Amino acid sequence: MRLRALGAVAVLAVLAGCGGTAEAPAGGNRDLLANLPSCDRVPLDQEPEVAADVPGLVLPDGARVTSVVVQGALTSVEATVRMSPLDVRAHYEQRTDVDLLRIEDEIFETEVLARARDRRMYLRATALCADGTTLTAMVAPDSDDAGLPEFHTG
């Protein structure tokens, strides 16, 4: 079921094209998210929740962490949240406790690079259903060569 939903997201993302960048948000494209399956049909809470005491990790309220993996200086975190990727973007743009270094979206996916508590966090928010999103975050030391993923958009 999850793969089917992600496949639908990929097809819709290709059809939709780029939704916006840090300079031009994709506010008018919310209707495309309605084409995704209802979140009632795509459970966001199948995996057990785990504790995430990771310095520099700043997730939206209500995020449900399902995985934390430490890999040397990098820590990867998987979570879900009842928000669209566009809502995730707006959330980070309104925060005052993080320094946004870069933020981009393509309607069905938002990427955030932020600095918090002397750490850098790269976060990718991908639509799973109409108002549910998977979050993949990587947290590392605050450095340009920290080994964080590159943005997928141009």
CA distance 107 to 80: 17
Phi, psi values for residue 38, rounded to 5°: -60, 145
Q: What was the pLDDT predicted at 43? A: 63
Which tokens go with 123? 């976060």
Q: What was the pLDDT predicted at 12? A: 38
Q: What was the pLDDT predicted at 89? A: 93
Break the chain down into helix, strand, coil percent, rounded to 5. 20, 35, 45
Q: What was the pLDDT predicted at 149? A: 72
Which tokens go with 129? 């259903």
Q: What was the pLDDT predicted at 132? A: 87
Spans of the chain below 70 pLDDT: 1-37, 40-44, 150-154
Q: What was the pLDDT predicted at 27? A: 47
* Strand-pair partners of 121: 114, 139
- HSE, CB side, 13 Å, CA atoms: give it for residue 154: 2
Beta-strand relationship, 132-141 and 74-81: antiparallel
